[in-house]
Structure 1
């Protein structure tokens, strides 16, 4: 979702800046602009004194301005925090039996799971990403299947092999996973 919000915000900001910049440039170069456009020449000001002070005396003006600015600040803080939040799990807490527990690096578990998944029959490549919390991780797994691979066999081997090994080695009760299967692109064979 964060990627989508970033793309939409960048697109909207780019379009608004491009339209405003082009319109101001057109007015500054004495090109034709619509009659409703506020800037008609290079010596026009962005906001006249009358426009800047138009609603100052109204009782609703300042509460609306403050509320709008507060909403903008809250949205900007939400966006900033969503950028800083990690989508990848950095470590998994393993119950070592002594009450303290141990920490397993998330990348190490991801690499081990990817290597184990790539050793399955018919799997050409694997990518693993851990998500969730340190005490209850989940996995997102992408498998690239060879042309001759059967998806049912690969998925069964992943469930009973790779995921079971990872769950047992980390001492987890459950280890949910989302698996995406893709076929490796290959050229068709000629039949003669």
Structure 2
């Protein structure tokens, strides 16, 4: 998932959670007599709405249809959260008549993370391979406060990325590198 989608999910879930919490607290305070005993003893639905529900045959089917639409939208959202574009294996087969050659993405990612993490000034590295048809590697490198950003970027471009492309037998493999020097700052470089 992209950062934009993750942020939208967090925002929507936070707003929905706050709205449900507010409704629950309001209902609890109302039922305990926080707004007076008359309101605490009154029915949940006003008399007009109760009569409408009892007198019209279409009321409850419309309510059921609305609930079904909400449930289907929720299911669609849940299934979208489970979908991912992460790659688990790369097919390195040149000619299918010669057999099948696959490379586990986890091994490739571990090698990239280890090689990038071993550079002087790097405090951590994480990589993710995504995209089935056109694979792309996302590499995030955390740097120490005193790291030489230009030197580390050059080493990534001249050593780590060529090793990755050679191992994956993909000279055109796109790589997105995010350098995070210290805390709070970010430098993004797109190598295509």
- TM-score relative to the length of structure 1: 0.73
**Which position in structure 2 is the counterpart of 1:72?**
70
In the aligned structure 2, how far is the partner of 1:61 from the partner of 1:178? 54
How far did residue 105 of structure 1 move? 1.6
More helix by share: 2
Coordinate RMSD, CA, aligned: 3.2
How far did residue 51 of structure 1 move? 0.3
In the aligned structure 2, how far is the partner of 1:66 from the partner of 1:20? 21
Match of 2:166 among 161, 165, 168: 168
The aligned runs of 1:113-132 (5 Å cut-off) are 113-132=112-131
**Which position in structure 1 is the counterpart of 2:103?**
104
Are the structure 2 counterparts of residues 114 and 41 from structure 1 closer, same or farther at C-alpha, using a change threshold of 3 Å?
Answer: same
Are the structure 2 counterparts of residues 62 and 42 from structure 1 closer, same or farther at C-alpha, using a change threshold of 3 Å?
Answer: closer
Are the structure 2 counterparts of residues 26 and 159 from structure 1 closer, same or farther at C-alpha, using a change threshold of 3 Å?
Answer: same
Are the structure 2 counterparts of residues 29 and 98 from structure 1 closer, same or farther at C-alpha, using a change threshold of 3 Å?
Answer: closer
Residue by residue over 1:85-112, the C-alpha shift from the partner in whole angstroms, topping out at 9 and shown as x without a partner, is 1353222222254454322222111101
Which blocks of at least 5 consecutive residues in structure 2 are unaligned? 184-192
**Which position in structure 1 is the counterpart of 2:143?**
145
CA contact (8 A) 1:95 1:170 kept: no
In the aligned structure 1, how far is the partner of 2:63 from the partner of 2:156? 56
Are the structure 2 counterparts of residues 29 and 66 from structure 1 closer, same or farther at C-alpha, using a change threshold of 3 Å?
Answer: closer
Q: How many residues align?
A: 179
In the aligned structure 1, how far is the partner of 2:54 from the partner of 2:136? 55
Give secondary structure in 1 for the equivalent of 2:123.
strand
CA contact (8 A) 2:90 2:104 kept: yes
Which blocks of at least 5 consecutive residues in structure 1 are unaligned? 34-38, 186-192
Are the structure 2 counterparts of residues 30 and 122 from structure 1 closer, same or farther at C-alpha, using a change threshold of 3 Å?
Answer: closer
CA contact (8 A) 1:146 1:183 kept: yes
Residue by residue over 1:39-85, the C-alpha shift from the partner in whole angstroms, topping out at 9 and shown as x without a partner, is 95333222246304538989x97997677556524421321112211
